[in-house]
Amino acid sequence: MPTFEPQDPNFEVRVRESFARQKVMETIGASLTTVSPGEVEVELPFRDDLTQQHGFLHAAVVTAIVDSACGYAAMTLMPPDATVLTIEYKVNFVSPATGDRMIASGHVTKPGRTITVCWGDVVAQSDGQEKLIATMLGTMMTLRDEQARGR
């Protein structure tokens, strides 16, 4: 894995504060567990109320946590006046999403001034075992403060 140097010494605080403002993550019960330069982990306990008709965690929920993990991984390397916005992603689902909890890890592949490429995986944990559920490739855009406010 490449080693990245963050532009903002307070990147972890900024990322955690931003994640705390995401009402969707609060709604589904996801938590931000690990934040380091170019890498983030988001965990989600399995819940029946987030499943689809076959009892698997819904693909939209799986995608939501890995998208957030990748976006925040990108944000760890952005300047202090910047935030992140997903502009594209592709997800492959490789196993049904069942287990005690899901762990989404996001990793920066290539940071850039405006565009950052990331990859992420979601694994299900049960009884000390992990199973790959989904893998994602995403593109994140750097937004400056004024852009983030819609100006």
Domain ranges of the chain: 11-148
For domain 11-148, say whether CATH 2.70.98.60 is its number: no
What's the farthest any 2 CA atoms get from each other in the chain? 49
What secondary structure letter does DSSP report for 9?
Answer: T
Is residue 7 a contact partner of residue 116, using CB atoms and an 8 Å limit?
no
pLDDT > 90? residue 77? yes
Q: pLDDT exceeding 90 applies to what percent of the chain?
A: 93
Its pTM stands at 0.94
Q: Phi, psi at residue 20, to the nearest 5°? A: -65, -25
d(CA 89, CA 28): 21
16-27 average pLDDT score: 97
